[in-house]
Amino acid sequence: MLGRSGLVTGHRAGRETRYAVVPARLGATARWLDRLAADWDHRLAAVTRPAEGETPPGPPASP
């Protein structure tokens, strides 16, 4: 799976397969996961605020 995704390369050494990380692909994956985590943090905060009785940030409500 990791080889097919391009995250590692592998070569046979006798009975073993030796794998090496492809740094550029791993870096791109890490950046994607960082963006995904930030998105979920925002979503979780949007659910948590009302559940804890806080008002969401934004302009003040008009009277």
For the chain, count helices (H), then strands (E): 2, 2
Q: What are the start-end ranges of the E strands in 1-63?
A: 8-13, 16-21
How long is the chain? 63
Q: Is the Cβ–Cβ distance between 11 and 26 less than 8 Å?
A: no
Residue 10 lies in a domain: no
Confidence of residue 58 (pLDDT cuts 50, 70, 90): low
Q: What is the pTM of this model?
A: 0.53
Asked if residue 7 is part of any domain, the answer here is no
Cβ–Cβ < 8 Å for 4, 19:
no
Measured distance CA(21)–CA(12) in Å, rounded: 15
- pLDDT digit string (tens) for 26-46? 888 899 999 999 999 999 988
**Does residue 19 have a pLDDT over 90?**
yes
Q: What is the mean pLDDT of residues 2-6?
A: 85
Structural domain harbouring 33: 23-52
Per the structure, the count of domains in the chain is 1
Q: Range with the lowest mean pLDDT among 9-13, 19-23, 46-50?
A: 46-50
Residue 4's pLDDT is what? Answer: 86
